[in-house]
Chains A and B, each alone.
Chain A
Amino acid sequence: MSRPTTNSEDTMTSTPSHSEADVPRGPLAGLTDPSAYEAPMPTERTVKLRTNLPIQAYRFAAVSLKMTRMILRSHG
């Protein structure tokens, strides 16, 4: 099928080719349920620490330092 170009960010797009009749039913194409990821699930403690005020005050200082270092480096 020939595909028309668009001017968006230098690339090509497709012409919709669906009709109600040819749309497959069943699980959606590419849909991933979050439970399928193999990434580790944070523990309840980890999640709580993310909003723990003293811990986060400390992390704020640490993140500020990291960002300041990055900013200074990038400003030459």
Chain B
Amino acid sequence: MARVVVLGAGISGHTAALHLRRMLDKRHEVVVVSPNSQWNWIPSNIWVGVGRMKPSQVTFPLKPVYDKHGVDFRQAKAVALHPEGDERTAKGYVDVVYTDPARAGEMQSIEYDYVINATGPKLNFAATPGLGPDGHTVSVCTYGHADEAAKQLADVIAKLRAGQKQTLVIGVGHGTCTCEGAAFEYTFNVEHELRAAGVRDLAEIIYLTNEYDLGDFGVGGLTFKQGGFVTSSKLWTESLFKERGVKSILRAHVQKVEEGRIFYETLDGSQDTLDFDFAMLLPPFRGQDLQAFARDGSDITAQVFAPSGFLKVDADYTAKPVEEWKASDWPSTYVSPSYPNVFGVGIAFAPPHPISTPRKAPNGTVISPAPPRTGMPSGLMGRAVAMNIADMISGKSNSPQHHASMAEMGAACVASAGAGFTKGTAASMTMYPVVPDYDKFPGYGRSLTETTGEIGLAGHWMKHLLHVMFIYKAKGKLGWSMIPE
């Protein structure tokens, strides 16, 4: 009998857990540890943030799904990893603290044969003083944050209706943020809602980002064929900003936020302030506060985790200039180099380097996006790791044979630019591969056939379809495993 412990129940962890349960026979245990009782389809938080959806439409309780599938769910937060066990046991184990209201604060050690760290990001609002729901800005990172954003946006719309001019700033709250695509989506959903409310003329919308160019999205931008030309996501995105009258501040790092005022610096060394009435700024991410200890109790956190708190896996972490970056730097099995039964997937694995070109202001401040690793890539990683663990438990292989490198997988992204079944639009993008491979695709790093982009109502329908499909899949309903990640 083997036990697999999955830490986290987001897209990656939940995918891994359901596939493991499907692939392993009932003699083996699958345990999921997550501090949250609800599963959240995060891509639709954008629509919660503008009041188009309620939190209940983007969430469902995890426990009934896990009960149905025979997964042991423990609502708790992992705090320490003991990959070598201790003097009491030779097995690795993880220390957890329950967040389940019935057992709140209770500590437990859970032994494992394999563990998957899928703990996602810690929303590091603290990196920027005054940032976040406890400060002076809102967020759409969680359904609760998005619900609060919708309430504040409704207040702004009421003021606009009363004839008061309002400045709305949407973007990222630190020079090293990721998820610029989500900030882009929220910008245009807000713009769409203001237009629908008939108050767009009195509102100034400013997109504040750490991207060097519009359309970078943390993946260094995209290049694709359109209308007989090879064009870029930069041109395409700038066109949308022009059409919808959205101003932008690029290459920016937010230093702090005070009531109604953002302090920021830009890559050229300028510093300035920006006054606002409403600001949705995403936080930077770091790994969850998970420590690691050796058998003798010594702290090995720095060996197991990167300084950012993300788990080191089979990536090439050698520091090298951007010209020497290779597709092969990226991990493919997500196994820890120190412990062959420890894996890190989704946002929880430490990337070897960014995808966008890293840049610093003259004073040393890093202002460039961190690499995104959410959505479809996250699901594919979870599935590949589940297949590898199932194979190793059943004796089919002794080492991971299934690969899911971001340099060998594509991604389908649908960025909403406004909701509505007849008036909505979204940018539908595909890219292959996610991490450019200039050896395989000289010139642009990605396939010009498989990298595409277009804006239209069809994209909105697609995003809504994905919302329905992935919630169905995550609920583990009939045929769930036939729906791709």
Contact = CB atoms under 8 A, between A and B. Distances in A.
A binds B: yes
Interface of A: 1, 3, 6-18, 23-24, 28-35, 37-42, 47, 49-53, 55-57, 59-60, 62-64, 66-67, 69-75
B223 interface: no
B325 interface: no
B273 A18 contact: yes
B60 interface: no
A56 B461 contact: yes
Most chain-A Cβ atoms within 10 A of its Cβ — which of B236, B239, B361, B459? Answer: B239
B235 A39 contact: yes
A63 B454 contact: yes
Interface in B418-436: 422-425, 428, 430, 432
A62 to B, nearest CB: 8
A70 B450 contact: yes
Given A51-B425, A69-B450, A41 B243 contact: yes
Contacts of A28: 249, 272, 274
A48 to B, nearest CB: 11
B51 interface: no
B363 A14 contact: yes
A67 B308 contact: no
7 contacts: A7-B308, A13-B127, A37-B241, A55-B456, A59-B456, A60-B462, A63-B458
A29 B361 CA distance: 14
Contacts of A47: 243
Contacts, number: 190
B461 A60 contact: yes
B176 A9 contact: yes
Interface in B244-268: 244-253, 255-256, 263-266, 268
A51 B236 CA distance: 18
B458 A34 contact: no
Contact of B272 (A23, A53, A63): A23
A6 B458 contact: no
B448 to A, nearest CB: 13
Contacts of A8: 124, 127, 174, 176, 284-286, 308
Given A34-B247, A70-B410, A16 B263 contact: yes
Contacts of A75: 380, 484-485
B89 interface: no
B365 A13 contact: yes
A62 B454 CA distance: 11
A56 B428 CA distance: 12
Contact of A41 (B242, B256, B268): B242
B376 interface: yes
A7 B243 contact: no
Contact of A12 (B249, B365, B423): B365
B127 A32 contact: no
A1 to B, nearest CB: 6
A47 B242 CA distance: 13
A71 to B, nearest CB: 5
Contacts of A49: 456
A64 B462 contact: yes
A1 B248 CA distance: 28
Contacts of B235: 39-40
A35 B242 contact: yes
A63 B266 CA distance: 37
B307 A7 contact: yes
Interface in B171-220: 174-178, 206
A13 B175 CA distance: 7
Contacts of A51: 422-425, 456-457
B309 interface: yes
Contacts of A35: 242
